[in-house]
């Protein structure tokens, strides 16, 4: 299977040790695996080379299709508006080029990168702040907005927090009429640093990471090491009686829900497993190592549990040397242990491959019609369909004509 977009071979060859982007054959499943996503970053000296390495698995409803789409940089008329998944907001005059791995039904994205060397991924989280009813910006909308408008991880964080404070977050987070909403945590990464951003309604707190390895899952991980915060964060916690205003302020303790959802409790295992895998490779993390972590089934990071599974995966190499291009790898198919990570490089000649883009349904899309989600449409793109066929062949005929086990590599 060819790469998603055309790119220069000389650019790819400037990065070493990219030959192991293909998965081993893995058949085991993890029973009772928690339902969550995972984001990872390695910064030197955690990385083997002078690269920042980003990785994310998107764990979503099993039948949800994730597409990989590229949007070029664009200019917009002053005063124009932007239609996100559910609401409209003012558009800015200039947006960056982005490549996104996104659920095909929504405007926003689970993860992606821009042409400024910024990567962002998000995770679901629940806090003491109640989920506000009604429609607002999804966390996935904020991922895309941060990438389109931010030229660094910090700039993207300011974009997200500004929009969060102005428009709030909320709305149905899956293509189904049964209510399912959450708040969000984000991992924002560029060539020099990373930021963990954790939110509770319109409130937020952030932690800067400048070296080593870090992962996030469906957990509040920021305790007392706070680098930036909402101006009313502590006063709001004090007004609710969650903090007495004295002593050290520990965000994760103050805002952790009294009755956390089961998925948030179960995700503690995955968060711990991800931390252990990163620490095991601390000082030697490469793109291949990050892919192997995303393919790890024993930890539950490569997830297959009930109605949820890993529906898409991403790994990015962000060299500290600005003369070298960033390389972003996407699967566009479920289960990274049975998928190939395919490369994308921003260039003036990037050409989208429609095989990884889902069909559009315009105003008749069940997401746009009111009431929403009253019917289903077939959002499968060509690569997704080919992956399904390959999986069926492997499962019904596990041994090929040469007597060797079949493998799926799409």
* CATH code, domain carrying 75: 3.60.60.10
Pair of tokens at residue 242: 């969650």
Residue 78, in any domain of the structure: yes
Name the domain count of the chain.
Answer: 1
Distance between CA atoms of 279 and 299, rounded to whole angstroms?
A: 14
Residues in a beta bridge with 58? 312
Q: Say which of 7, 21, 28, 37 is annotated catalytic.
A: 37
Residue 355, in any domain of the structure: no
Provide the pLDDT for residue 398. 73
Q: What share of the chain in percent tops pLDDT 90?
A: 80
Distance between CA atoms of 198 and 127, rounded to whole angstroms?
A: 10
Catalytic status, residue 37:
yes
Pair of tokens at residue 386: 């080919």
pLDDT class of 410 with cuts at 50, 70, 90: low
Residue 251, in any domain of the structure: yes
Domain that holds residue 249: 38-350
CB atoms under 10 Å from CB of 410, counted, come to 20
Provide the pLDDT for residue 266. 81
**Does the structure show a pLDDT above 80 at 213?**
yes
Distance between CA atoms of 237 and 223, rounded to whole angstroms?
A: 14
Residues 183, 189, 193, CA angle at the centre, nearest 5°?
125
Nearest residue to 310 via CA among 333, 292, 287, 341: 333
**Does the structure show a pLDDT above 50 at 28?**
no
Provide the pLDDT for residue 12. 42
Distance between CA atoms of 333 and 353, rounded to whole angstroms?
A: 14
Residue 47, in any domain of the structure: yes
Residue 386, in any domain of the structure: no
Dihedral angle computed from the Cα positions of residues 140, 141, 147 and 153, in that order, rounded to the nearest 10 degrees: -60
**Does the structure show a pLDDT above 70 at 78?**
yes
Average pLDDT rounded to a whole number, residues 86-105: 98
pLDDT class of 305 with cuts at 50, 70, 90: confident
């Amino acid at each position: 299977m060819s790469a998603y977009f055309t790119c220069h071979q000389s650019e790819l060859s400037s990065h070493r040790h990219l030959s192991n982007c293909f998965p081993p054959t893995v058949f085991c499943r993890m029973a009772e695996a928690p339902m969550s996503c995972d984001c990872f970053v390695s910064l030197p000296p955690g990385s083997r080379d002078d690269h920042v390495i980003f990785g994310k698995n998107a764990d979503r409803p099993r039948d949800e299709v994730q597409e990989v789409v590229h949007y070029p940089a664009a200019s917009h008329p002053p005063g124009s508006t932007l239609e996100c998944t559910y609401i409209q907001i003012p558009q800015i005059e200039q947006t960056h080029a982005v490549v996104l791995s996104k659920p095909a039904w929504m405007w926003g994205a689970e993860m992606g990168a821009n042409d400024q060397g910024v990567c962002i991924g998000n995770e679901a989280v629940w806090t003491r702040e109640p989920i506000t009813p009604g429609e607002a910006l999804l966390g996935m909308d904020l991922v895309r907005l941060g990438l389109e408008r931010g030229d660094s991880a910090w700039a993207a964080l300011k974009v997200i927090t500004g929009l969060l404070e102005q428009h709030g977050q909320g709305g149905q987070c899956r293509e189904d009429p049964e209510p399912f909403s959450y708040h969000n945590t984000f991992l924002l990464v560029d060539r020099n640093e990373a930021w963990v951003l954790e939110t509770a309604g319109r409130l937020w707190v952030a932690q800067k990471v400048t070296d080593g390895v870090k992962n996030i899952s469906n957990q509040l991980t920021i305790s007392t090491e706070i680098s930036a915060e909402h101006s009313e964060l502590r006063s709001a916690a004090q007004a609710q009686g969650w903090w007495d205003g004295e002593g050290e302020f520990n965000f994760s303790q103050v805002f952790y829900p009294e009755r956390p959802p089961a998925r948030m409790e179960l995700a503690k295992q995955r968060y711990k497993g991800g931390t252990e895998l990163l620490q095991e490779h601390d000082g030697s993390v490469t793109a291949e190592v990050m892919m192997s972590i995303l393919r790890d089934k024993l930890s539950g990071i490569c997830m297959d549990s009930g109605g949820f599974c890993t529906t898409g995966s991403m790994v990015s190499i962000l060299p500290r040397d600005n003369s070298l291009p960033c390389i972003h790898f996407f699967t566009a198919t479920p289960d990274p242990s049975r998928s190939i990570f395919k490369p994308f490089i921003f260039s003036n000649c990037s050409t989208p491959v429609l095989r990884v883009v889902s069909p559009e349904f315009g105003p008749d899309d069940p997401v746009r019609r009111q009431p929403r989600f009253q019917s289903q449409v077939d959002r499968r793109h060509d690569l997704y369909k080919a992956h399904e066929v390959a999986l069926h062949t492997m499962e019904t005929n596990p041994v090929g004509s040469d007597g060797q086990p079949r493998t799926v590599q799409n």
